Amino acid sequence: TSLQESKLENLGHLGDSNDHDSLGLFQQRPSSGWGTPEQITDPEYSTTAFLKGLKQVDGWQDMALTDAAQTVQVSAYPDAYAQWEQQAADLVAQHWNS
């Protein structure tokens, strides 16, 4: 999800290039209740917030990854997450428990 949202960059306020008030790795918005700007730009906090949101989605374990991500993120580009699935799986395989 964060590969699509930020290319794994912890984005601060981008001025006119910003999507509303989206911040951080997951482009979460303080105005949507994700947390304060300071919290959202904390990678551990934003990841935990995303995972908490994911766990609230009924059946997320059986969904296509792009559908699960979209349900949490409510992106204007719901199919965009799919393009990152293999790269994300490779990163997890390479770094899990390392």
Buried/exposed 25-46: b ≥16 CB within 10 Å, e otherwise? bbbbbbeeebbebebbbbeebb
Q: Please give the pLDDT value at position 73.
A: 93
The pTM of the full predicted model, rounded to 2 decimals, is: 0.85
List of E strands, the chain: none
DSSP bridge partners of 13: none
Q: Which of 45, 50, 39 is nearest to 3 (CA)?
A: 50
Q: Is 69 helix (H, G, I), strand (E, B) or coil?
A: helix
Per-residue pLDDT of the chain (98 residues; tens, 9 = 90+): 999 999 999 988 766 655 578 899 999 999 999 999 999 999 999 999 999 999 999 999 999 999 999 999 998 888 999 999 999 999 989 988 76
53: domain range? 1-96
Q: Please give the pLDDT value at position 19.
A: 58
Only one residue has tokens 């719901």, namely 78
Q: Please give the pLDDT value at position 15.
A: 62
Say if CB 73 and CB 5 are below 8 A apart. yes
| CA–CA separation, 6 and 77 (whole Å) | 14
Q: How many domains does the chain have?
A: 1
Q: Please give the pLDDT value at position 96.
A: 84
DSSP bridge partners of 40: none
